[in-house]
Amino acid sequence: MFRPVADVPIPKDAELNQERSLILSGREDWTGRLVMVTSISSTEAYSFFRSEMPRFDWSPVMTVQSAISVLTFTRAGRAATVQVERRALGGSLITVTVAHAQESVGFPNAAVQPAPLRSQERGN
């Protein structure tokens, strides 16, 4: 079993696709993409990440289970997206993307002023 990072769960029989993966920095505070192939079904892979990511201190943000399932998590200023899709010959293709979370862009607390009416809208 490979273990390129320490803060994301890896299914026990997963194989890393080295050509499509990109890991920048250390095992704990990394940024990049892990692409893995596993023999477990996409449903099992979805359930695996849904239950195991919180055990690695990732907080769930949203999940969508479908033909290509997506799970999103946050942890200590970082965001992780897990994409799970069924492989034609069985098993799953799993892509885990992790990056530092961007701060949300907010608007000033000032009240929003309506735009002035143009002369056509005033009936002139």
3-class secondary structure, 53: helix
Domain extent for 75? 15-100
In a domain, 118, yes or no: no
pTM recorded for the entire structure? 0.79
Q: ∠ CA(17), CA(51), CA(34), 5° rounding?
A: 15
Residues 72/61/3/29 CA torsion (nearest 10 deg): 100
**Total count of domains within the chain:** 1
In a domain, 37, yes or no: yes
In a domain, 85, yes or no: yes
3-class secondary structure, 50: helix
Q: What is the pLDDT along the chain (124 residues), one digit of tens a residue?
A: 567 788 999 998 999 999 999 999 877 789 999 999 999 999 999 999 999 999 999 999 999 999 999 999 999 999 999 999 999 999 999 999 999 987 755 545 444 445 555 555 555 5
In a domain, 5, yes or no: no
123: left (phi > 0), else alpha (psi -120 to 50), else beta? Answer: left
